[in-house]
Amino acid sequence: MKEILTFPFMQHALLAGAIASFFLSLFGVFVTLKRLSFFGDGIAHASLSGIALGVLIGVNPLWLALIVALFFATGIYFLEKKTPIPVDAIIGLIFSGGMAIGILLMSFKRGYQPELIGYLFGNILTISKQDLLITIFLGGLIILFLLLFQRSLALTILDEEEASLCGIKVNLLEFLFYIALAITIVLGLKLLGIVLVSALLIIPPITAKFFSNSFKRVLLNSVIIGEITVISGLILSYYLDTPSGAVIVLVGIFLFGVGGIFHLLRGKIKVR
Give which of 250, 262, 244, 254 is closest to 122, Cα–Cα: 244
Distance CA 124, CA 14 (A): 9
Give the pLDDT of residue 271: 42
Which tens digits make up the pLDDT trace of 75-93?
999 998 889 988 889 989 9
Helices and strands counted in the chain (H then E): 12, 0
Distance CA 79, CA 61 (A): 27
Its CATH architecture, for the domain 2-198, is Orthogonal Bundle (1.10)
Which tens digits make up the pLDDT trace of 135-151?
788 888 888 888 888 88
Full-model pTM: 0.84
Give the pLDDT of residue 199: 87
Distance CA 263, CA 30 (A): 22
Judge whether 51 and 116 are in contact, CB under 8 Å. Answer: yes
* Beta carbons within 10 angstroms of residue 76's beta carbon: 23
Give the pLDDT of residue 13: 81
Judge whether 263 and 270 are in contact, CB under 8 Å. Answer: no
Give how far Cα 118 sits from Cα of 9, 86, 150, 260, Å.
Answer: 15, 33, 33, 32
Least confident of 171-180, 193-202, 232-241: 193-202
**Which one is predicted more confidently, 228 or 119?**
228
Which tens digits make up the pLDDT trace of 39-50?
888 888 889 899
Which tens digits make up the pLDDT trace of 240-254?
888 888 899 999 999
**Ranges of each domain in the chain:** 2-198
